[in-house]
Amino acid sequence: MESGLYVVATPIGNFGDMSQRAVDVLRQVDLIAAEDTRHSRRLLQHFGIDTPLMAYHDHSDDRALRRIRGCFEAHESVALVSDAGTPLVSDPGYRLVRCVQDEGHKVFPIPGACAAVAALSAAGLPTDRFLFEGFLPAKRGARENRLQALRTESATLIFYEAPHRIVDTLEALVEVFGPTREAALAREVTKLYETIRRSPLSTLAQFVREDNNQQKGEIVLLVTGASARESELDADVASLLIRLAQELPARRAAAVVAEHTGLRKKQLYDYLLSLK
Ligand code: SAM
């Protein structure tokens, strides 16, 4: 096989999703660099693959890189796999791919499962434009800042989330995007207890809050992008408006913000109504 780095996607739960090409490549390469060798060994055993394995992540020391480089110098090939899905998508590999390219070697993608794309394909939210956000910051303040920055984004938003944070995150989403914005939960995709559920954010938050089983496993959250009306409003103006509407009637809050920004009172008032 041609010498180079093969970036190989592996299943996100269901081994039936492993492609024949992925199996062939992992059998034929000289070395497999894996995020977690114990984890990947189970997959390789299942497919009867006994290619040598080494651990690799983006903070690996130079020894790991030297070993991989040694393969290329000998015109050999190396595969990169992560624990699940497509390497580099919220997974290690970015540094390695750049380094391999910069040293003049080829990088070949071997496509397959990716939780974000699988979730998007079944969520029932708009797919013409989407923005993959990966994991939100774990700290509350940083997470809220991130969400505020996304409030007027019109593309469908895709987040990865840890089960122990799902309730808090859904509550933060309701707070920032409003209760009626449509969203979807894609949990344990391709596995036995798969959940794909689309509903307004507040309904989704309630569904997850009331069912402990929905707070387990692996989760992708998707949120419809802002409507044209919402995206017209600057994030700072919108948050000021929302804050004022907590103290004043909606019409009065819209009038005050209109006076100070020059925006139309009706646009601001309609925006507040759209959050109800
Ligand atoms: N590289 C992977 C991919 O291509 O999707 C993602 C790796 S990231 C470290 C792991 C996160 O992906 C999980 O915390 C979860 O948010 C999401 N994920 C992975 N497998 C999933 C599944 N079967 N169902 C739902 N989400 C999944």
In eight-state DSSP terms, residue 106 is -
Helix (H, G, I), strand (E, B) or coil at 13: coil
Q: Cα–Cα distance between 1 and 223 in angstroms, integer? A: 42
The set of residues, in sequence order, having a beta carbon less than 8 Å from that of 148 and lying 6+ positions away, is: 176, 235, 239
Distance 268 CA to ligand 1 centre (A): 38
Closest-CA residue, ligand 1 atom 11, reads 160
pLDDT of residue 172: 94
Asked if residues 221 and 207 have their Cβ atoms less than 8 Å apart, the reply is no
How far is the CA of 143 from the CAs of 73, 152, 221, in angstroms?
44, 16, 15
pLDDT of residue 227: 82
pLDDT of residue 235: 77
Distance 185 CA to ligand 1 centre (A): 13
pLDDT of residue 145: 92
Strand-pairing partners, residue 132, are: 158
Distance 10 CA to ligand 1 centre (A): 11
The pLDDT averaged over each successive group of 10 residues in the chain (276 residues) is 96 98 98 96 97 91 90 96 98 94 96 98 97 96 92 94 97 91 97 97 97 96 87 81 93 93 84 82
pLDDT of residue 220: 98
